[in-house]
Every structure is written in C-alpha cells, then in structure tokens.
Amino acid sequence: MARAPDPDRDRHGWKWLLSAPALVVLVLAASGPLLIVAVYSFLSPGNMGGVAWEPSLEGWFKVFFSRDIFDPENVSWNTANLTVFWRTVWLSIQTTLICAVLGFPTAWFIATRPPHRRALWLFLITIPFWTNLLIRTFAIQELIRGTGMLNTVLLALHVIDEPLQLLYSNFAILLGMAYVFLPLMVLPLYAAMDKLDFRLVEAGYDLYASRWRVLWHVILPLVKPGFVAGSILVFIPSIGAYVTPRVLGGGRTMMLGNLIALQFGQGRNWPLGAALAMLLLILVTVALVVYLRAVNAEDEEKRHG
C-alpha cells in the first residue's frame, strides 16, 4: 500500500522535540563515535599512536594476516590474532553452555516454589546481577589464587599436595565469566517457565511419559524462547568481555576485548584496533540477527501451528 501523506505530520514534531536532548547526547557520546571507529579502521597508523589521514586497508589486513619484517611480500596468517579469536568464541560458547546447565535447574527450582516465595529467590539471583562485575571478578581471583581459599581447603583436606595454579589460564577466565554472567541466563529462563502451562506437563505424565521424556519433549520445547534469550544475553557480553579476562587471564591469555585495548596502549596501532573493534561489533550483530530470526521463527510457528 502506498503511504498516504501523513495527516498527523505536524503533530509529531513535539515527539522529536522532547526526544531531542537525549538523542543529541547519545549521538555525541555513543553512536557517533562508533562511526568514527569505522572510519579510523581504514586509515594509516600515526607514529605515536593516533592515525595519519591516509586511506589504507592495512588495519583490516593485519586483523587476519601478518607480513614478514624483512620481506613484506611474504604474507602469512596472523596466528597470534587467530588464537585470540578462537579463544574468544570458544570460551564464550563454553560459558553459555555452563550457564545453561546450571541455570535451567535453578530457574526451574524458582518457578516451582510457592508464588509468595518466588520473589525472594528471584531477588537472590538479581543481587549478584546488579553488584559490580569487577568486585565479583575480584572475589573469584581471591578464591582461586595460589594462597586462596580453594587451595587452602584442598590442601587441608589432602586432596592435593601442592597449590593448583589456576589463575591466568583459560580455565580461570571461563570460571569467572560463567560466574558473572549466570544471572543473565536464569532470569529469561525463569520468565519463560513462569508462563509455562503445567497442565501440559501433567498431560505428558498421564500419557505414561517418563520424567526424562516429559523434560525433553514437553518442557524444553516450551521454554525454548527463554533458552534462546538467555544464551544471547550470556554470549554477547562474553565475546565482548574485557575486565574478566584482564583480571583472571593475565597479560598472555587475552580475549578479543583485551587485544583491542592493546592496540590503543602499547601496540600503538589505532587502525588495527579500530578494525578489531569493528570485527567484534560484527560478531555481536551476527549473534543478535541469529537471535531475532529464532524469535521470529517461533512467532511464525505459533501463528500457523
């Protein structure tokens, strides 16, 4: 249908006027700078950080490839960067899985409490969610460091003979991320279970299904939207993580966020850093698109089914 001239056109002016102050701040201090990052990724690095205003694809090139110092024509894969990309994606997937495995029973537990108690259990999940991520990461660091509580207890129980070196490893990052992002999985799962029609579960049992079959064929399909939402809410901050890998991974076990920061610090290669940041944005966008598609497919199914 062709759009008729909007009779209310002049009546929409006030809406823009009222939104304008917020939008100006957002464009100046949030959206606008992102466009500048995109531009910077196509410039040449300056001598002391910053950029030289000469167009170049070298920043994007260095994201994936590296050149031999003595023979610039000799190009190979940038294995250091590729290792970081792989670690970032793999740790994020693992984090999402751990959160799902722990989060599902937890959300189920809350959803099956008597209604007046649910708010309290939910509040207990929400408190860590709103407390500072840095402090929670710090708590994990203290717990698993060489002289920390975990090692002290394990030594006292004679489970181990010498302290485990857990800090500054992939495992430490994984533990930290699963710990700080777990509430993001529980909350949407609970929201989905809260709407669950338990008569369907009962019907399953009436038809002689085992608990396992009911869980797999009735409950899981019904709470799938919660799973999808929770997974995206955990996965997105995981691939963009900076604080947790910095504190728990140390200097060598980097994730993409740390690699980006490095280019604006010691690396002094702003175009490469900008290109890496764009790559991270693309990863996040892909994850969001996959999520939106899943949600839309779900809606379609409901409409036709």
Partner 1 sequence: MARAYDVRRLPGFGAIALLTFVLLYLPILVLVVFSFNAGSSQSEWDGFSLQWYAAAFANQQVQDVSIRSLWLAAVAAGVATALAVPAALATTRVSRFPGQTMIYALINQPLMVPEIVTGIALLICVAWVKVNTGYTGMGYLVAAHTAFCIPFAYLPIRARLETLDPTLERAASDLYASPVQAFRFITLPLLVPGIAAGFMLGFVISLDTVVITEFVKSAGQDTLPTYMLGQLRRIITPEMNAIATLFLALSLVFVTAFFLITRKRG
Residues 236-265 that bind partner 1 (CB under 8 A): 236-237, 239-240, 242-243, 246-247, 257, 260-261, 264
142: contact with partner 1 by CB under 8 A: yes
CA distance 254 to 106: 31
Nearer Cβ to partner 1 (96/151): 151
147: contact with partner 1 by CB under 8 A: yes
**Cα atoms found within 13 Å of the Cα of residue 153, Cβ hemisphere only:** 6
User: Of residues 26-55, which lie at the interface with partner 1 (CB under 8 A)?
Assistant: 26-34, 36-37, 40, 50
132: contact with partner 1 by CB under 8 A: yes
CA distance 248 to 168: 5
Two tokens, residue 162: 């010498």
Q: What is the CA radius of gyration of the chain?
A: 25
The single residue among 12, 117, 217, 224 that binds partner 1, judged by CB under 8 A, is 12
Two tokens, residue 223: 């709470």
179: contact with partner 1 by CB under 8 A: yes
One-letter amino acid at 116 equals H
CA distance 86 to 101: 22
277: contact with partner 1 by CB under 8 A: yes
Residue 111 CB neighbours (<10 A): 20
User: Of residues 190-209, which lie at the interface with partner 1 (CB under 8 A)?
Assistant: 198, 201-202, 205
Nearer Cβ to partner 1 (78/125): 125
CA distance 285 to 298: 20
The single residue among 134, 159, 160, 297 that binds partner 1, judged by CB under 8 A, is 134
Which of 100, 289, 98 minimizes the C-alpha distance to 186?
A: 100
164: contact with partner 1 by CB under 8 A: no
5: contact with partner 1 by CB under 8 A: no
Return phi, psi of residue 76, to 5°: -135, 170
Nearest approach, Cβ of residue 10 and partner 1 (Å):
11
Nearer Cβ to partner 1 (1/69): 1
23: contact with partner 1 by CB under 8 A: yes
In the DSSP assignment, the letter for residue 11 is G
Q: Choose the binding region for partner 1 from 58-66, 220-228, 273-281, 289-297 (rule: CB under 8 A).
A: 273-281
CA distance 176 to 31: 30
Q: Choose the binding region for partner 1 from 12-20, 67-75, 80-88, 164-172 (rule: CB under 8 A).
A: 12-20
User: Of residues 84-113, which lie at the interface with partner 1 (CB under 8 A)?
Assistant: 102-103, 105-106, 108-110, 112
Nearest approach, Cβ of residue 34 and partner 1 (Å):
5
Helices (H), 242-269: 243-249, 256-264
CA distance 115 to 125: 16
Nearer Cβ to partner 1 (69/157): 157
User: Of residues 54-83, which lie at the interface with partner 1 (CB under 8 A)?
Assistant: none
Q: Choose the binding region for partner 1 from 66-74, 80-88, 166-174, 266-274 (rule: CB under 8 A).
A: 266-274
Total residue length of the chain:
305
The single residue among 63, 89, 93, 139 that binds partner 1, judged by CB under 8 A, is 139
- The crossing angle, in degrees rounded to 10, of helices 256-264 and 79-111 is 130
Helices (H), 65-195: 79-111, 115-130, 133-144, 149-156, 170-194
